[in-house]
Amino acid sequence: MSSKLEEFKKEQKKDSIPDIQTGNTVRVTQKIGDKTQLFEGLVIAQNHGKDTTGTITLRKVIDKVGVEKVFPLHSPTIEKIEVVKKGKTRKSKIYYIREKSKKIVQKKIK
């Protein structure tokens, strides 16, 4: 059983994943049906690194409403992940950003 699971994980694993860190602004291209959808946001958490179960949580404010999406890194629906802007943070999970205003967030990430 474990050998089949390991083979499946090897098939699913992608090699073209960039170095993503908390605080970076990332653009994810995701294929939904026949269309491709872009989502650009701030990485507020990264779980399980670059493992096959690895995920990133992105946050974006649209019309004064915060939107968060969790993307599995090795999902077949994700076409491309690109780092738009690098940011430097002191913490690995920056969930406190949810309550802060945009000005304060920009100061904290620099």
What was the pLDDT predicted at 110?
A: 66
Nearest to 41 by CA among 50, 54, 28: 28
- Residue 24 in domain: yes
* CATH value at residue 35: 2.30.30.790
Whole-angstrom distance, CA of residue 50 vs CA of residue 20: 9
What was the pLDDT predicted at 96?
A: 86
Written as one letter, the residue type at 55 is T
What was the pLDDT predicted at 1?
A: 61
With beta carbons less than 8 A apart as the criterion, state whether 95 and 45 touch: yes
Tell me the pLDDT of the chain (110 aa) as tens digits: 678 888 887 888 888 888 999 999 999 999 999 999 999 999 999 998 888 889 999 999 888 888 999 999 988 899 999 999 998 888 889 888 888 776 777 776 76
What was the pLDDT predicted at 49?
A: 83
- Residue 46 in domain: yes
- Residue 15 in domain: yes
- Domain residue limits at 65: 2-105
Whole-angstrom distance, CA of residue 23 vs CA of residue 105: 10
Whole-angstrom distance, CA of residue 110 vs CA of residue 100: 15
Whole-angstrom distance, CA of residue 6 vs CA of residue 29: 27
The total domain count for the chain is 1
